[in-house]
C-alpha cells in the first residue's frame, strides 16, 4: 500500500510538469488554432534563464529565499517574453497561412532556440547543474517518503495551474482571450485589441512552460539543452488525450500520461525501458477511441 502511495507521489510530480506543458499547447490551440511545437524549447529557454538568474543572484549575494523567487520569476518572464515575441512576430503575421506552414514554422523556431542554447550558452552542450534552492530532506509517513522539495514543487505547480484557470475564467483579460478564441472578428468589433490579446495569451501559455522549466530544474537539479524535446511530445500527447483546447483536459492528460509511465514500471518492471513506448501506444489507442479527447472541447467554451 505504501508503495502505491509512493508511486502516486512520484507520478504527481511528473504529472504536474506534463500538465503545465499541456496547458500551454491547449491555450495556443484554443486561441489561434495553432499547434506550437516550439513550446518545449520555450520551456528550455525559461529553465536556462532561471539558471542565469541563479548565477546572478549568487554573485549578488541574495539570500536563498530571494534567489528562489528570482529564479522562478526570471524563468517565467523569459518564457513569457519569447512566447509573446513568437506570437507577435510569427504566429500573427502567418495566421492566414496554411496550418502546415505554421506547424513547420514553430518547429523551426524551436530548433533555432535549442541550437542557440547549445551553441551560445557557456558549455551549452553539457548538462547544467541547477542549484538546489529548496529545503532538502523529508519525512517518512507509513513507509511513504515525502520529500520537502517535492511537496513544495507539486503545491506550487498545482497552484499555478489554478491561477491560470482563474485568469482565463474569472478576469476581464481571460474574458477577452476567450472572446478572441471564440471569434476573433467579433471580438475586434467589440473593441478588444486582437493583436495584444493574442500576444498576452501566448505569453500566459508560455509562462506555464517557464514554471514547468523551473520546477524541472529545481526537482532534478539538472537541465540540458534538449530537455524540452521529450517534454513537448509528452505535453502535446497529454493535451490531445485530454481534448485539445480544454484546460482541464490538458491537466487530466498530463496526470494520465505520468500515471501510465509509472504503472508500466510498477507492474512490469522488466519493461521499464519501454515505458514511453507503452504510454504512447495507449495514447494512440485513446485517440482512436475518442478522437476529440477524454474531455471533449465544448463548442461554446474554448480555452
User: Which one of 145, 183, 284, 290 is in contact with another protein (CB under 8 A)?
Assistant: 145
When the beta carbons of 280 and 287 are compared against another protein, the nearer one is 280
**CB of 272: closest distance to another protein in angstroms?**
5
Question: Does position 220 bind another protein by CB under 8 A?
Answer: yes
User: Which one of 98, 100, 140, 142 is in contact with another protein (CB under 8 A)?
Assistant: 140
Residues in region 273-292 near another protein by CB under 8 A: 273, 275
**Cell numbers 524549447: residue:** 41
Residue 138 dihedral angles phi and psi, to the nearest 5°? 180, -165
When the beta carbons of 227 and 241 are compared against another protein, the nearer one is 227
Question: Does position 16 bind another protein by CB under 8 A?
Answer: no
**CB of 86: closest distance to another protein in angstroms?**
25
When the beta carbons of 29 and 257 are compared against another protein, the nearer one is 257
User: Which one of 59, 100, 270, 288 is in contact with another protein (CB under 8 A)?
Assistant: 270
d(CA 86, CA 39): 10
When the beta carbons of 13 and 239 are compared against another protein, the nearer one is 13
d(CA 175, CA 106): 26
DSSP string for residues in 194-240: HHHHHHHHHHHHHHHHHHHHHHHHHHHSEE-TTHHHHHHHHHHHHHH
DSSP code, position 123:
T
d(CA 297, CA 245): 6
User: Which one of 112, 129, 135, 290 is in contact with another protein (CB under 8 A)?
Assistant: 129
Question: Does position 269 bind another protein by CB under 8 A?
Answer: yes
**CB of 21: closest distance to another protein in angstroms?**
14
Residues contacting residue 295 through CB under 8 Å, at least 6 positions apart: 242, 243, 246, 248, 249, 252
Per-state percent for the chain, helix, strand, coil, to nearest 5: 75, 5, 20
Question: Does position 138 bind another protein by CB under 8 A?
Answer: yes
Residues in region 192-211 near another protein by CB under 8 A: none
Residues contacting residue 125 through CB under 8 Å, at least 6 positions apart: 118, 225
Question: Does position 224 bind another protein by CB under 8 A?
Answer: yes
Question: Does position 3 bind another protein by CB under 8 A?
Answer: yes
d(CA 78, CA 235): 20
**Cell numbers 507503452: residue:** 278
Is the distance from CB of 16 to CB of 158 less than 8 angstroms? yes
Question: Does position 147 bind another protein by CB under 8 A?
Answer: yes
Question: Does position 11 bind another protein by CB under 8 A?
Answer: yes
**CB of 127: closest distance to another protein in angstroms?**
5
Is the distance from CB of 138 to CB of 147 less than 8 angstroms? yes
Pairing of strands 144-147, 138-141: antiparallel
Residues that bind another protein (CB under 8 A): 3, 6-7, 10-11, 13-14, 125-127, 129, 138, 140, 145, 147, 149-150, 220-222, 224, 227, 261-262, 265-266, 269-270, 272-273, 275
Amino acid at each position: 500500500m505504501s508503495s502505491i502511495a509512493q508511486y502516486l507521489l512520484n507520478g504527481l510530480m511528473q504529472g504536474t510538469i506534463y500538465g503545465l506543458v499541456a496547458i500551454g499547447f491547449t491555450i495556443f490551440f484554443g486561441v489561434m488554432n495553432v499547434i506550437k511545437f516550439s513550446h518545449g524549447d520555450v520551456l528550455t529557454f525559461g529553465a536556462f534563464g532561471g539558471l542565469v538568474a541563479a548565477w546572478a543572484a549568487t554573485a549578488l549575494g541574495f539570500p536563498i529565499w530571494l534567489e528562489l523567487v528570482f529564479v522562478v520569476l526570471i524563468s517565467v518572464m523569459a518564457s513569457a517574453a519569447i512566447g509573446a515575441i513568437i506570437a507577435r512576430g510569427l504566429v500573427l503575421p502567418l495566421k492566414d497561412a496554411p496550418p502546415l506552414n505554421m506547424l513547420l514554422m514553430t518547429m523551426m523556431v524551436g530548433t533555432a532556440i535549442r541550437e542557440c542554447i547549445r551553441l551560445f550558452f557557456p558549455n551549452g552542450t553539457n548538462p547544467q547543474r541547477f542549484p538546489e534552492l529548496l529545503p532538502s530532506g523529508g519525512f517518512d509517513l507509513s513507509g511513504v517518503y515525502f520529500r520537502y522539495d517535492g511537496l513544495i514543487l507539486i503545491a506550487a505547480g498545482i497552484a499555478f495551474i489554478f491561477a491560470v484557470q482563474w485568469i482565463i475564467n474569472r478576469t476581464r483579460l481571460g474574458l477577452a482571450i476567450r472572446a478572441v478564441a471564440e471569434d476573433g472578428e467579433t471580438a475586434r468589433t467589440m473593441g478588444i485589441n486582437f493583436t495584444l490579446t493574442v500576444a498576452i495569451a501566448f505569453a500566459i501559455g508560455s509562462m506555464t512552460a517557464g514554471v514547468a522549466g523551473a520546477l524541472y530544474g529545481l526537482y532534478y537539479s539538472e537541465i540540458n539543452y534538449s530537455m524540452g524535446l521529450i517534454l513537448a511530445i509528452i505535453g502535446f500527447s497529454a493535451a490531445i488525450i485530454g481534448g485539445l483546447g480544454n484546460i482541464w483536459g490538458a491537466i487530466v492528460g498530463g496526470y494520465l500520461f505520468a500515471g501510465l509511465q509509472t504503472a508500466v514500471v510498477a507492474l512490469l518492471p522488466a519493461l521499464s525501458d519501454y515505458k514511453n513506448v507503452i504510454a504512447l501506444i495507449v495514447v494512440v489507442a485513446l485517440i482512436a477511441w475518442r478522437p476529440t479527447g477524454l474531455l471533449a472541447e465544448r463548442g461554446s467554451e474554448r480555452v
